[in-house]
Structure 1
Amino acid sequence: MNNYISFFKEIQARSKFEIEYEKRHSKKLAAKFNTMKFLHWNENKVSEILAFFLNPNEDHGQGDIYLRLFKEELGLYFPYDAPEKVQVILEDSTFENRRVDIVLKNKDQSSVLGIENKIYPWTKDQENQVEDYLKYLQYISNHHYQLLYLTPKSKELTEYSGGKEIEKLIETGKLYLINYEEHIIPLLKEFIKNTENERVRCFLIDFESQLIENYMGKENLDLGSLNHFITETEENIETAFRVSNTLNSIKQEMRNLVDQQMLQLTDELTEELKMRILYNEQFHHFEIPVFKNLFIKFNYEEGGVIYGLVKTPHYMDSHYDKVYLNDLRNYLGIKFRTSHWWPLFFLQYHNIEHDAAFWIDVRNGKFKKFMKDFIIAVIEAPENLKPNL
Structure 2
Amino acid sequence: MSIQKLLDDVTLWRESYKKANALFDRQLAPAFRLLNLFCINEMALSNCLAFLLDKNETHGQQDLFINKFYELFSSQKNIQLESKYQVVTEYKIPTGRRIDILLTDHKNYIAIENKPWACNQKDQLKDYGTWLHEEAKNDKNWLLIYLCNREINEYTLSEDTDESIRDNVLHITFYELRNWLIDCALYVQAPKVKLLVEDLIQYIQENVNGEINMKQQDELVKMILSNSNNLNSALLIANNIEVVKKELFDKFIKNLRDQTANLGMVGIKIEGDTEIEKRYAGFQIKFDPNDYFVLRWESQGTMQRDIIYGIRRKDATVQPNKKLYKHIAEQMEGILSSPQSNELWWPAWDSPEKNAMPKFIEDETWISFFHPQESTFTKSVIEIIRQVYEKQTLRALLKER
With structure 1 as the length reference, what TM-score do the two structures score? 0.71
- C-alpha distance in 2 between matches for 1:100 and 1:249: 42
If asked which structure has higher relative contact order (CA below 8 Å, sep 6+), I would say: 2
Contact 1:212 1:221 in 2 (8 A): no
Residues 1:350 and 2:350 are matched in the alignment: no
- Percent identity over the alignment is 21
- C-alpha distance in 2 between matches for 1:148 and 1:308: 28
- C-alpha distance in 1 between matches for 2:144 and 2:329: 37
1:210-262 deviation per Cα after TM superposition (whole angstroms, max 9, x unaligned): 11112133433655632443465688679768866876786566545543443
Residues 1:161 and 2:159 are matched in the alignment: no
Count of matched residue positions in the alignment of Structure 1 and Structure 2: 349
Equivalent residues in 2 for 1:351-366 (5 A)?
Answer: 351-353=359-361, 355-366=362-373
Matched residue SS, 1:23: helix
Residues 1:320 and 2:330 are matched in the alignment: yes
- C-alpha distance in 1 between matches for 2:376 and 2:202: 33
Single out whichever of 201-210 and 360-369 deviates more from structure 2.
360-369
Match of 1:225 in 2: 219
The aligned amino acid for 1:177 is H
Contact 1:90 1:100 in 2 (8 A): yes
Match of 1:55 in 2: 54
CA change 1:128–1:242 in 2 (3 A) is farther
CA change 1:373–1:99 in 2 (3 A) is closer
Query: What is the CA distance between 1:205 and its match in structure 2?
Result: 1.0
The aligned amino acid for 2:360 is I
- C-alpha distance in 2 between matches for 1:169 and 1:227: 46
Matched residue SS, 1:100: strand
Equivalent residues in 2 for 1:232-381 (5 A)?
Answer: 232=226, 254-255=248-249, 257-266=251-260, 268-269=261-262, 273=264, 276-281=266-271, 284-285=284-285, 287=287, 299=297, 317=327, 320=330, 347=355, 349-353=357-361, 355-366=362-373, 371=378
- C-alpha distance in 2 between matches for 1:377 and 1:101: 30
Match of 1:190 in 2: 183
Residues 1:77 and 2:74 are matched in the alignment: no
CA change 1:234–1:203 in 2 (3 A) is farther
The aligned amino acid for 1:128 is D
Contact 2:357 2:377 in 1 (8 A): no
Q: Which one has a larger percent helix, Structure 1 or Structure 2?
A: 1
With structure 2 as the length reference, what TM-score do the two structures score? 0.69
Query: Structure 1: where are the runs of 5+ without partners?
Result: 289-294, 326-335, 380-385
Query: Structure 2: where are the runs of 5+ without partners?
Result: 272-281, 289-293, 312-322, 341-347, 395-401
The aligned amino acid for 2:133 is Q
Matched residue SS, 2:61: coil
Contact 1:304 1:349 in 2 (8 A): no
1:162-208 deviation per Cα after TM superposition (whole angstroms, max 9, x unaligned): 111579679x8522211112x01111111211111000110111111
Single out whichever of 59-68 and 33-42 deviates more from structure 2.
33-42
CA change 1:376–1:205 in 2 (3 A) is closer
- C-alpha distance in 2 between matches for 1:7 and 1:233: 11
Pairwise CA RMSD of aligned residues?
4.6
- C-alpha distance in 2 between matches for 1:373 and 1:38: 21
Residues 1:108 and 2:115 are matched in the alignment: no
